[in-house]
Amino acid sequence: MIKKRLFTPGPTPVPESVMLRMAEPIIHHRNPEFREILTRVHANLQYLFQTAQPVMVLSCSGTGGVESTFVSLFSPGDKIISVNGGKFGERWVKMPKTFGLTVVEHKVAWGTAPGVDDIRALLKQHPDAKAVYLVHSETSTGAATDVQKLAGVIREESKALVCVDGITAVGAHEMRFDEWGIDVCVTGSQKGLMIPPGLAFIALSPRAVAAMEVSTMPRFYLDLKKALKSWKENDTPWTPAVSLVVGVDAALQMIRAEGIENIWDRHRTLATALRAGIEAIGLKLFSSTPSFAVTPVWVPEGVEWKKFNGTLKARHGITIAGGQDEFQGKIFRISHLGYYDALDMVTIMAAIEWTLAECSYPVTLGKGVGAVMRHFLKP
Amino acid sequence: MIKKRLFTPGPTPVPESVMLRMAEPIIHHRNPEFREILTRVHANLQYLFQTAQPVMVLSCSGTGGVESTFVSLFSPGDKIISVNGGKFGERWVKMPKTFGLTVVEHKVAWGTAPGVDDIRALLKQHPDAKAVYLVHSETSTGAATDVQKLAGVIREESKALVCVDGITAVGAHEMRFDEWGIDVCVTGSQKGLMIPPGLAFIALSPRAVAAMEVSTMPRFYLDLKKALKSWKENDTPWTPAVSLVVGVDAALQMIRAEGIENIWDRHRTLATALRAGIEAIGLKLFSSTPSFAVTPVWVPEGVEWKKFNGTLKARHGITIAGGQDEFQGKIFRISHLGYYDALDMVTIMAAIEWTLAECSYPVTLGKGVGAVMRHFLKP
């Protein structure tokens, strides 16, 4: 008997209690019972994003969520700056171009994050930029961006909206939407929110709402103006994914009970503990500014990725993520985003040690595990 | 103790076995296990639509599904004919205009369906129309359109694509996509497919796929060209709503086991039996061409809708749908779409009789129920 364990950066594991809530008989989305759930979800999403501003629920993936911001806040021809340091940054360059935006692409090497000076220079060069899009945690590379610092710089230098893809960051990385001056932040349900994919959540500042008023982009299903109007009545413009909303209600109650600062701390600790273990057995981290959501590791020399991944899955029941594009077969990614605790880090570390040994890679069994364990005892 | 029972045209009740499948631990959408599920879902969707053509799964509501057809098959300025006989027909007039299409609106009275002669005349008047949009079962009015007949006329008269909103029809009404020459048919998950909302399904004919090749409309998340490319590999372009796909896999297996012809028959029988009961107690049907998915009934004189609905809900645990727009408070709608059987029709009929009596409406208790029961024994 081999248990299945998921260590992928979305979908992330769904707590058993949340699964069971979602399995309850379906309710109608215009019933007072559902209205009550959505009202609580709206309030708890504000807590999650640390904002007093609206956070709307759309029934789509994170990609649909980000699209809703491009089509709702801008007009064809508007200029935006978009940072591309991986598969998702790349998507947020391609997508707005599709809708007729002028996109200034700021490429950074995979595994790295944009620097303050670069962003400042770009804003000086493009004073007409209406927004800067940042990826808080780039899932494809495991690199984190210092959103707080960059938001300060953008606010200082320009009137551009600070737009954050927080898809794999919200719930893992500190996010203080109001305090940091963020204008747009998007996340998805199958990430820090610990439920299955199918919902996106979008927070908008008053500046973002004002931008929406003058936007001329054609839109309908992903129209945030319609969503905002419904949000004010704790409603949705179209039939929402009811069972997922019920799930996120349960998950947000878990988040409130644990406390958002504690959750940020937990993710930081899980990430740094796992990295201590990874480095203890001589493996190398891929990113110079690693995210607390996902740990990217170079596949060690002499180990063949396909064999490694196949063994991890077949013998140990574990699913991790591989590298993408030019890093396919060269890196692997372990997620600790959402419903994970200290013993899960011991589990994944042990499975990696075993699998490396099974791939004839020299490893002292328990060395990484010991390092992980010791890290949790650090004051 | 009062059990809750849903008689709304979406969400419709989810079978217990399907709920439990969806409550199983989440799997990753790039795992072979999920690929296997999606492959089976794709095949069974073809069976559901009676087509050999691609039927794609999008993670959005039915409204998003219909939007995907407007933005993927046409170009700004293209002319389409759209039949408006209710809230949804109205939406399929408004939505394409948003995206720059020229829309010839064909209004029909609520509760009625478009006629052959009208459609023929419209096509003669607009030989440049690229498509005709029909609503197979208009949820807001309970009226059904004879899609088979109209598809024949459209094919005969023009080269316009035959596009069908099958959202509350697929699974309840006969639909032979290939045989009838349909080009586009959309449905949603929370209807005849018996799972929670959050997925849309879109079937495309080769003519529709060809139209997609020349479409210049900007699109990204709802791009059917991307969806078709992924479909060919039994994949999805973006993270799909995994748990809902698992649910629809279970539901489609139930549909295959029952047989699609039997399911169409069951819906016809449930609808006609309930109507026999409704008429037996002197109530009047709203639609002249009633759909097999939903039965629209005039609120009888002397009964106040709010009191009727409140009593039905509070005393009997039953949720039905009210009228919309000018028919608010004037009609009510009972759904029998999806997971319903003969005893459910007895249940709803009994609850309506009781509630009418509780609203001081003269009714001989059991009269409607008897008529419903007798109908099922008819040869």
The full 3-state SS of chain B, as one line of letters, equals: CCCCEECCCCCCCCCHHHHHHHCCCCCCCCCHHHHHHHHHHHHHHHHHHCCCCCEEEECCCHHHHHHHHHHHHCCCCCEEEEEECCHHHHHHHHHHHHCCCEEEEEECCCCCCCCHHHHHHHHHHCCCCCEEEEECEECCCCEECCHHHHHHHHHHHCCCEEEEECCCCECCECCCCCCCCCCEEEEECCCCCCCCCCCEEEEECHHHHHHHHHCCCCCCCCCHHHHHHHHCCCCCCCCCCHHHHHHHHHHHHHHHHHCHHHHHHHHHHHHHHHHHHHHHCCCCECCCCECCCEEEEECCCCCCHHHHHHHHHHHHCEECEECCHHHCCCEEEEECCCCCCHHHHHHHHHHHHHHHHHCCCCCCCCHHHHHHHHHHHCC
By the CB < 8 Å criterion, does A253 face chain B?
Answer: no
Nearest CB to A243 within list B8, B61, B196:
B196
Pair of tokens at residue B119: 């459609």
Residues of A in contact with B218 (CB under 8 A): 98-100
Q: How many CB pairs under 8 A join A and B?
A: 163
Residue of B38, B59, B186 to mutate when probing chain A, most A C-beta within 10 A: B59
Residues of A in contact with B243 (CB under 8 A): 22, 196, 198, 243-244
pLDDT tens-digit map of A109-133: 999 999 999 999 999 999 999 999 9
Domain with residue A226: its CATH number is 3.40.640.10
Residues of B in contact with A242 (CB under 8 A): 11, 190, 196-198
pLDDT tens-digit map of A8-52: 999 999 999 999 999 999 999 999 999 999 999 999 999 999 999
Residue with tokens 């990484």: A368
DSSP-based three-state secondary structure for A135: strand
What is the per-residue pLDDT for A167?
A: 97
CB contact under 8 A, B197 and A27: no
Residues of A in contact with B12 (CB under 8 A): 26
- Crossing angle, helix A116-125 and helix A147-157, to 10 degrees? 30
What is the per-residue pLDDT for B61?
A: 98
By the CB < 8 Å criterion, does A32 face chain B?
Answer: no
pLDDT tens-digit map of B271-324: 999 999 999 999 999 998 999 999 999 999 999 999 999 999 999 999 999 999
CA distance A72 to A214: 9
Residue of B5, B191, B243, B318 to mutate when probing chain A, most A C-beta within 10 A: B243
Q: What percent of chain A has pLDDT over 70?
A: 100
Cα of B158 to nearest chain A Cα, Å: 29
What is the per-residue pLDDT for B379?
A: 79
Tell whether the model's pLDDT for residue A379 goes beyond 90: no
By the CB < 8 Å criterion, does A15 face chain B?
Answer: no
pLDDT tens-digit map of A43-56: 999 999 999 999 99
Average pLDDT over residues B71-85: 98
Average pLDDT over residues B47-62: 98
pLDDT tens-digit map of A341-361: 999 999 999 999 999 999 999
By the CB < 8 Å criterion, does A314 face chain B?
Answer: no
Residues of B in contact with A334 (CB under 8 A): none
Q: What domain count does chain A have?
A: 2
Tell whether the model's pLDDT for residue A82 goes beyond 90: yes
Task: Using a cut of 0.90, tell me whether the model's pTM lies above it.
Answer: yes
Nearest CB to A22 within list B8, B12, B23:
B23
Pair of tokens at residue A67: 């699209």
Residue B329: pLDDT band (50, 70, 90) is very high
Residues of B in contact with A249 (CB under 8 A): none
Q: What percent of chain A has pLDDT over 90?
A: 99
By the CB < 8 Å criterion, does A14 face chain B?
Answer: yes
Cα of A64 to nearest chain B Cα, Å: 6
Domain with residue A363: its CATH number is 3.90.1150.10
Does A282 lie in the same domain as A248?
no
Tell whether the model's pLDDT for residue B365 goes beyond 90: yes
Does B230 lie in the same domain as B313?
no
Cα of A71 to nearest chain B Cα, Å: 10
Does A270 lie in the same domain as A182?
no
Cα of B120 to nearest chain A Cα, Å: 30
What is the per-residue pLDDT for B362?
A: 96
Tell whether the model's pLDDT for residue B378 goes beyond 90: no
Q: What residue in A sits closest to B322 (Cα-Cα)?
A: A30
By the CB < 8 Å criterion, does B367 face chain A?
Answer: no
Does B96 lie in the same domain as B237?
yes
CA distance A59 to A158: 33
Q: Which of B212, B232, B258 is the last residue of a domain?
A: B258
The mean of the pLDDT values for chain B is 97
Supply the range of the domain harboring residue A344.
5-10+260-377
Residues of A in contact with B319 (CB under 8 A): 28, 31
Nearest CB to B242 within list A11, A64, A100:
A11
Residues of A in contact with B314 (CB under 8 A): none
CB contact under 8 A, B6 and A22: no
Does B44 lie in the same domain as B146?
yes
Residues of A in contact with B19 (CB under 8 A): 23-25
Q: Which of residues 83-102 of A touch B (CB under 8 A)?
A: 95, 98-100
Does B232 lie in the same domain as B279?
no
Nearest CB to B221 within list A6, A23, A222:
A222
Does B281 lie in the same domain as B150?
no
Tell whether the model's pLDDT for residue A378 goes beyond 90: no
Q: What residue in B sits closest to A24 (Cα-Cα)?
A: B19
Cα of B14 to nearest chain A Cα, Å: 7
What is the per-residue pLDDT for B118?
A: 97
CA angle, residues B72, B76, B79, in degrees to nearest 5: 95
Does B212 lie in the same domain as B119?
yes
Cα of A46 to nearest chain B Cα, Å: 23
Q: Which of A239, A258, A277 is the last residue of a domain?
A: A258
What is the per-residue pLDDT for B70?
A: 98
The mean of the pLDDT values for chain A is 97
CA distance A190 to B232: 25
pLDDT tens-digit map of B177-235: 999 999 999 999 999 999 999 999 999 999 999 999 999 999 999 999 999 999 999 99
Does B313 lie in the same domain as B240?
no
CB contact under 8 A, A22 and B25: no
CA distance A199 to A33: 20
CA angle, residues A140, A145, A151, in degrees to nearest 5: 140
ipTM over 0.90: yes
Cα of A7 to nearest chain B Cα, Å: 10
Tell whether the model's pLDDT for residue A92 goes beyond 90: yes
Does B355 lie in the same domain as B370?
yes
CB contact under 8 A, A11 and B196: no
Does A268 lie in the same domain as A240?
no
Residue of A28, A57, A72, A320 to mutate when probing chain B, most B C-beta within 10 A: A28
Average pLDDT over residues A258-267: 98
Residue of A58, A199, A224, A239 to mutate when probing chain B, most B C-beta within 10 A: A239
Does A82 lie in the same domain as A230?
yes
What is the per-residue pLDDT for A372?
A: 98
By the CB < 8 Å criterion, does A317 face chain B?
Answer: no
By the CB < 8 Å criterion, does B318 face chain A?
Answer: no
Residue of B24, B219, B220 to mutate when probing chain A, most A C-beta within 10 A: B220
CB contact under 8 A, B67 and A220: yes
Q: What residue in A sits closest to B198 (Cα-Cα)?
A: A241
Residues of A in contact with B64 (CB under 8 A): 59-60, 221-222, 238
By the CB < 8 Å criterion, does B220 face chain A?
Answer: yes
Q: Which of residues 143-182 of A touch B (CB under 8 A)?
A: none
pLDDT tens-digit map of B120-135: 999 999 999 999 999 9
By the CB < 8 Å criterion, does A188 face chain B?
Answer: yes
Measured between alpha carbons, how far is residue A261 from residues A264, A272, B14, B197 in Å?
Answer: 5, 17, 38, 33
Q: Which of A243, A258, A273 is the last residue of a domain?
A: A258
What is the per-residue pLDDT for A158?
A: 97
Average pLDDT over residues B73-86: 98
